[in-house]
């Protein structure tokens, strides 16, 4: 293995360790309570809009993921520093299974 390939491999491994270290391993429900419930209490209208139309507004998980990562208006972006990819998947699953 060349020196450059070794450094690339070490860098990739270090990034993987950092990513794993950022995980809080919270469930979708825990993430919702921590990050969403204040403005969308139980998915209902609060400071933010109701989540009842979420399926129509964001028909795919990819579109919902992009929206959550970007944020809008007073809704903050949920960056990887806040919610890692695995946790965001958990949150999206929880949101998709909410009943109103």
The number of domains in the chain is 1
- Say what the pLDDT of residue 40 is: 96
* In-domain check, residue 10: no
Long-range contacts at 73-79 (CB < 8 A, ≥ 24 apart): 74/39, 74/47, 74/48, 75/39, 75/48, 78/35
Q: What is the CATH number of the domain that holds 90?
A: 1.10.760.10
- Measured CA to CA, the distance from residue 51 to residue 55 in angstroms comes to 8
* In-domain check, residue 15: no
pLDDT in tens, the chain (100 residues): 788 888 888 787 777 666 655 556 889 999 999 999 999 999 999 999 999 999 999 999 999 999 999 999 999 999 998 899 999 999 999 999 998 7
Q: What is the pTM of this model?
A: 0.75
- Say what the pLDDT of residue 11 is: 80
- Measured CA to CA, the distance from residue 96 to residue 18 in angstroms comes to 29
Torsion of CA 59, 61, 64, 67, to 10 degrees: -130
| CA dihedral over 72, 76, 78, 80, signed as positive or negative | positive
């Amino acid at each position: 293995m060349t020196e450059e390939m070794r450094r690339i491999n070490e860098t990739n491994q270090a990034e993987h360790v950092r990513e794993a270290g950022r995980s809080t391993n919270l469930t979708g429900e825990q993430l919702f309570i921590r990050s969403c419930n204040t403005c969308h209490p139980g998915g209902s209208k609060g400071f933010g809009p109701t989540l009842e139309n979420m399926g129509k507004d964001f028909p795919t998980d990819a579109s919902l993921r992009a929206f959550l990562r970007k944020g809008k208006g007073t809704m903050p972006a949920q960056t990887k520093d806040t919610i890692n990819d695995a946790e965001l998947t958990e949150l999206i699953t929880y949101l998709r299974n909410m009943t109103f």
